[in-house]
A and B are shown apart, each in its own frame.
Chain A
Amino acid sequence: MSTDLDLENVEFASNPDPRCPCVLLLDTSGSMAGEPIAALNEGLKRFRDEISGDELAARRAEVAVVTFDSDVKVVRDFVTAGSFDPPSLSATGQTHMGAGIHKALDLIEARKAEYKRNGVDYYRPWVFMITDGAPQGEPADVVERAAQRVSASEAGKHVAFFAVAVQGADVEKLRRLSARPPLELSGLKFVELFVWLSSSIQARAKVDVGDQVTLPPTDGWSSVQA
């Protein structure tokens, strides 16, 4: 079929892909030692496999990993999912969850500033926190301010903050920290959880503009529906 010559001359702007940032905020305190941390590491590997197998998500999703124990560490700063190198985490120490939340939100703010400087479109960032405990070993006001920041960020649609409670977590305390009801992980179904997370991010990254995404059901790994 012949193409109109004028239309054949149309050139396209080359814009960077819109980015879909997600911080994995992971509890690496002592209580996670043993089977839980091994299952979490397994989940992270599977997450990498799933998401990097999707061409669009591999380009558009950006993943960072922040861990909290007696210390807060940016274990992986933001990279596109296709280059994500899953860390092998070990568990020890206390649960500085409040400080971890602050770090995750700081990281997102810095990333957004970078997007804006470079004219990159982005989706609402996600923080995905996984813990088997409650804030411990840090000043109460750090935790209180973290809760206020999460609630203000959610209200202003700056961030979507999800908390996943592993068995042993203080669900009541998590409820106060997160505007959304915490999701409870059944057993150690970390792999199922990360497969779900990857599908959710893939679904979001596919939606070009203007469309909302329905998240896949969480019943494969959670006893509580999102």
Chain B
Amino acid sequence: MTEPMEVGSRQSPGGRSAPAPWRVVARSVAGSAHKKHGKPCQDAHAWSVVGGQSLLAAVADGAGSAAWGGIGAAVAAASAVRSLEAQIQNGTLPADEATWKDLLGEALQAAIEGIAERAEEEGGEPRDLATTLLICVATPAACAVLQVGDGCVVAAARGGNDLKFTLPARGGYVNETTFVTSEGALESAQLHVWSEPIEGLAMLTDGLQRLALDMAAGRPFAGFFAPLFAFAARSEDKADPGEDLERFLRSERVWSRTDDDVTLLLAALKGRYGMLPR
């Protein structure tokens, strides 16, 4: 089995002359349960900024029941972001929900194909690489998400006073969800388009769900997200924000509350988040 490809932390060449306005910090960390059983982290993420403006990001949680779930997660996240890069660099950004759906749907399709190819190379079936996948494009004017399975995306508008969010898609029980390799994944995926400027973005996999969401109310827990957005907004002043985030995800405070793999991808639009009174 070859290692999953290296993903994440890429800024497009265009970003060099005009610094990209997005500050991004992301980490996927193996949970205590996986560590205990000697399993690698089966979460993955990938992101990229194109044209200095558009943040393309994906997080994925490989199914524990699948032989190569972690590889599936890495392939899915990277394939989706690559597809978005190609689509957006060659064209303009969508202006309506239908066009967003096409754009994100094609990225999901790319992930499904990437998984199928990899499965064939490994001599397995796509379901051996089963994974959830959350794909997001955020521009200074809008934010769109396509989500298959659990996990969630939370976007902050109006200085963090207005939280837009997706909720985990569940098979009904706590230990069941849908995967990109499930039949009808594309048709059943949730699409969310928020046509207004967002300043902060958080994407997470199910390992953090119970810490980040008020399950009974079905909405994000503000006390979780506000400091994270502030952290992302200030990340360029920090020596090693990635290391800070990783230390946080491995902290006793987090580990005592979840034993699953966790992924947190945070982004803040420079000069926007925190500029308004919270």
Contact = CB atoms under 8 A, between A and B. Distances in A.
A110 interface: no
Given A13-B221, A208-B259, A209-B175, A6 B215 contact: no
Contact of B207 (A12, A18, A157, A208): A208
B65 A211 contact: yes
Interface in B106-150: 132, 149-150
Given A1-B247, A15-B213, A209 B260 contact: yes
Given A4-B231, A122-B173, A210-B132, A12 B224 contact: yes
Contacts, number: 125
Contact of A123 (B174, B221, B241, B245): B174
B175 A211 contact: yes
B175 A210 contact: yes
Identify whether the interface residues of A are mostly helix, strand, loop, or mixed: loop
A203 to B, nearest CB: 11
B245 A212 contact: no
Interface in B42-63: 61, 63
Q: Which of the four size classes fits the interface of chain A?
A: 20 to 34
Contacts of B276: none
Contacts of B260: 208-211
Interface in A80-125: 118-124
Given A13-B210, A209-B177, 18 more contacts: A3-B244, A3-B247, A7-B227, A7-B228, A7-B244, A7-B248, A11-B224, A12-B224, A13-B215, A13-B221, A118-B216, A120-B215, A120-B216, A123-B174, A210-B260, A211-B63, A212-B64, A212-B65
